[in-house]
Structure 1
Amino acid sequence: MTAPTLPRMIAAYFAADRQGPEAVARCFTEHATVKDEKRTFVGRGAIQSWKAAAQARFTYTTTPTGLAHDDGMIVVTGRVEGNFPGSPVDLRYRFQLEGDLIASLEITA
C-alpha cells in the first residue's frame, strides 16, 4: 500500500510524534485544541502534556494510510501499532489548519 501524500504540516505532525512531546506541540497554534479519548486539551502546553502522558504509557508507531477532505477538515486515517490494549487500531485524525500550523485535531476510532 502506498502512503498518502500529506500536507506539509500534517506530515510534520506525524514526524514530530516520533521525536517527542515538545516537537509535537510546536506543530500547533498557541491556542490550538486536541480532542482525544473524550478529553480536550487547549494550548501548546496542554498539548505537550497530553503527548508526554501518552508516550509515557505506551510505545507506538503511527502509519498514515488514507487522506480525505471533509467539511473543511483534512482527515487522515492511520494505523497505530504498539504495546497498548487492542493494538493495532485504525484511527481517524481530523485536522484543521491555520496558516502553517495546526489549529485543531480530533482523534477518533
Structure 2
Amino acid sequence: MTALILPEPIAAYFVADQQSPEAVVRCFTAQAVVKDEGRSHVGLDAIRSWKLEAASRYTYTSEPFAWVQEDGRQRVTSRVTGNFPGSPVDLQYDFRLERGLIASLEITL
C-alpha cells in the first residue's frame, strides 16, 4: 500500500493534532476559521479553546487515508478512533490553505 503524501500544512496539522493544542494552533493563519460539530471557531484563541475542549473530552487517533483537491480546497478523509460515541468514524477534513498555513478547516461526517 502506498503511503499518503499530504501537502505540508495538512501533514503538519495531523501530526500536531496528536501532540498538543499549541502545536495545532501553529498550523493556522491568525484569522483562520474552524467549523466542527456545528460550531465555528474564529482566530487562534478560539482554535486553541476548541482543541483544549476536545482534548479534555476525548482521547483519539486520526489516520488519513484519502486526499483530493477540488475547487480550491483540499479534502482529506481520515479514520478517527477513540473514546467517543460511534468510534471509529471516517471524517472529512476540508482545508483551505494560505501562504503555507491553514486558513480554514471544516470537519464533517
- What's the TM-score bracket when you normalise by the shorter of the two chains? over 0.9
Q: Counterpart of 1:68?
A: 68
Where does structure 2 lack aligned partners over 5 or more consecutive residues?
none
Query: 1:8 is matched with which residue?
Result: 8
Paired residue for 1:45? 45
Q: Which runs of 5+ in 1 are unaligned?
A: none
Identity between Structure 1 and Structure 2 (%): 62
Structure 2 partner of 1:55 = 55
Count residues in correspondence: 109
Q: 1:36 matched to which residue of 2? A: 36
Q: CA RMSD in A?
A: 0.8
Counterpart of 1:80, as a letter, is V
Q: Tell me by how many angstroms 1:100 deviates.
A: 1.0
* Runs of 4+ off more than 3 Å: none
User: Shift in Å at residue 22 of structure 1?
Assistant: 0.6
What is the CA distance between 1:26 and its match in structure 2?
A: 0.7
